[in-house]
């Protein structure tokens, strides 16, 4: 398959020409890094550092404007493998990845461009795309390969897992093993496979209870809207992007079934009945669907995510067929309302077709992790062509919280065995 984005004309390696060996501090002292903070050590790593790594804003023009990208570096030994964790969002908190701990690897966590502290001084939305983000990771990997001489594993969760897929698509030779967790491969800004999944997941009685709950909340809005408003006011949420309080309420109700199966934190028997106090009902809905998701405060923080979803990564909407007679405000339930005014967001469906073709026919040494009941598994990647040396592992009954270490013992053992085999091939 021809992947025109990979042309070497546009992908210069920003090599510092450093020699391997010596201390990590000496190595970092010769890199374009700043604000080096020592976070100490733990039982797994000898050093844990937080640094800001200078990146080109536009990797097509590496001598142009730059921004600083936050990295967490966890060090054991320069000759051991490295796990690079590609975050899909910000990296507010340090953590140890289960793969790095299991395999005794070094670790680098990368905050995604345009999130958290990794933002340019002014937002140029045209520079927020999967190729630029993949080039951030390529630059980091090629730079740190001059110190860490072992093999590399890329991994990430959800959107971070999508980032693993895109990075490998653009730069297939950067790492030896890729482990995306619960990562969707959507085909549009409203991937309708979600609807089929929600009509079939779990048990019929569970789905029926969920739909009855949603219908009641839509039909009896006058009974629940005051509690929705009171709780929103208490937390400090406003809903101008969503189109007002009433629209935000309907969005939350529609989101409920998606979030219920995505996270799997409660059972259908925990859903409040019709006699429950409206405030109890709204607290439950907030716990599952999350009022914040449709709040101005959250949308403004997550606008880079929504922009990427609506231009390259794809997303979902809501099937209104069985709710239409009760809906009073929502008319087009896709997330275009999240984009800032005046910003153009045109979706590139050809890119996702190319990515899927690459993953199916060329992408070796991928280990895909999914949860059976996770709504995002509706658009997961399962179609590996014969001869492609990759595997998919699905945790029975698993949610979006599926990880290797919470899989059944035999499956967990098989996943780590597969990673080790790929790493040593």
pLDDT at residue 41 in the model: 87
pLDDT at residue 62 in the model: 96
pTM over 0.85: yes
Q: Are 141 and 84 in contact (CB under 8 A)?
A: yes
Q: Are 144 and 108 in contact (CB under 8 A)?
A: yes
Spatial separation of the C-alpha atoms in residues 129 and 308, rounded to whole Å: 7
Tell me phi and psi for residue 292, to 5 degrees.
-60, -30
Count of helix runs (H) and strand runs (E) in the chain: 12, 9
Strand 152-157 relative to strand 33-40: parallel, antiparallel, unpaired?
unpaired
Q: What angle do CA 376, 243, 188 make, to 5 degrees?
A: 30
pLDDT at residue 15 in the model: 39
pLDDT at residue 331 in the model: 85
- Domain chopping of the chain, boundaries: 4-188+348-424, 202-338
Regions of the chain short of the pLDDT cut 70: 1-21
Mapped onto helix, strand or coil, the DSSP state of residue 107 is strand
Tell me phi and psi for residue 366, to 5 degrees.
-95, 140
Domain 4-188+348-424 has CATH 3.90.650.10: no
pLDDT at residue 227 in the model: 98
Query: Distances in Å between the alpha carbon of 362 and those of 3, 49, 137, 357, 371?
Result: 12, 36, 20, 8, 24
pLDDT at residue 332 in the model: 74
């Amino acid at each position: 398959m021809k992947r025109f984005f990979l042309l070497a004309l546009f992908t210069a390696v920003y090599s510092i020409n450093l020699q391997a060996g010596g201390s990590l501090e000496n190595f970092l002292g010769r890199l374009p890094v700043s604000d080096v903070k020592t976070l100490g050590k733990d039982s797994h790593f000898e050093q844990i550092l937080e640094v800001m790594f200078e990146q080109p804003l536009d990797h097509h023009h590496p001598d142009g404007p730059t921004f600083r990208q936050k990295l967490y570096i966890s060090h054991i030994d320069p000759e051991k493998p490295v796990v690079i964790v590609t975050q899909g969002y910000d990296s507010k908190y340090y953590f140890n990845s289960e793969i790095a701990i299991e395999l005794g690897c070094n670790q680098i966590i990368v905050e995604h461009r345009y999130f958290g502290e990794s933002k340019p001084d002014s937002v140029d939305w045209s520079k927020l795309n999967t190729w630029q983000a993949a080039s951030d990771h390529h630059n980091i990997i090629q730079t740190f390969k001059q110190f860490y001489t072992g093999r590399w594993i890329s991994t990430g969760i959800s959107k971070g897992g999508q980032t693993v897929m895109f990075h490998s698509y653009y730069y297939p030779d950067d790492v030896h093993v890729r482990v995306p967790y619960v990562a969707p491969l959507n085909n549009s800004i409203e991937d309708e496979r979600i609807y089929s999944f929600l009509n079939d997941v779990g048990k019929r009685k569970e789905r029926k209870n969920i739909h009855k709950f949603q219908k009641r909340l839509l039909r009896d809005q006058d009974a629940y809207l005051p509690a929705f408003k009171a709780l929103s006011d208490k937390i400090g949420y406003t809903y101008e992007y969503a189109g007002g309080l009433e629209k935000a309420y309907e969005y939350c109700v529609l989101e409920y079934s998606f979030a219920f199966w995505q996270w799997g934190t409660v059972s259908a028997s925990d859903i409040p009945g019709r006699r429950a106090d409206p405030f109890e009902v709204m607290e439950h809905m907030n716990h599952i669907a999350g009022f914040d998701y449709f709040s101005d405060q959250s949308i403004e923080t997550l606008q880079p995510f929504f922009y990427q979803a609506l231009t390259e990564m794809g997303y979902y909407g809501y099937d209104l067929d069985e709710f239409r007679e009760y809906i009073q405000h929502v008319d087009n339930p896709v997330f275009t309302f999240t984009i800032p005014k005046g910003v153009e967001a045109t979706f590139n469906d050809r890119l996702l077709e190319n990515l899927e073709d690459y993953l199916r026919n060329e992408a070796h040494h991928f280990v895909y992790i999914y949860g059976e009941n996770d709504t995002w598994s509706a658009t997961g990647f399962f179609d590996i062509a014969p001869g492609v040396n990759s595997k998919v592992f699905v945790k029975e009954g698993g949610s979006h919280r599926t990880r290797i270490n919470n899989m059944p013992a035999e499956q967990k053992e098989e996943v780590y065995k597969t990673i080790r085999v790929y790493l040593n091939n």
